[in-house]
Amino acid sequence: METRVSLENGVLTLAPSGKLNAVSCLELHDKMMTFMPQAEKLIFDFADVDYVTSAGLRELLIAYEEMSSKDGIAIRNVNDEVMSALVMTGFDSYFEIE
């Protein structure tokens, strides 16, 4: 998995690719923790994410906790399988899904 990173005008965009599982989330976590302190808003672009396991959901929760005092988090380009996981876990109520 590779995670593309963009930080512009306080908006951090993280665009992982592939499967968000226990192994691949290590890179995502490292990039989140490196760049989130500099960001006011976080956008996950899931255009290239196939599916999300509980490890991926854990990373979303960590991001939510870290960004809760800022302008929030949006998730973009969510496929049906990932959306189903977000809805079943109730995560859809925590994030702005575009």
At 80 the pLDDT is: 96
> Over the stretch 1-15, which tens digit does the pLDDT of each residue have?
789 999 999 999 999
Residue 1's pLDDT is 75
Question: So what's the pLDDT on residue 39?
Answer: 97
Average pLDDT value for the chain: 95
Beta strands 96-97 and 73-76 are parallel
Owner of token pair 């990173």: 5
Q: What is the pLDDT of residues 58-77, one digit of tens each?
A: 999 999 999 999 999 999 99
Distance CA 52, CA 27 (A): 14
Q: pLDDT for 13-52, tens place per residue?
A: 999 999 999 998 999 999 999 999 999 999 999 999 999 9
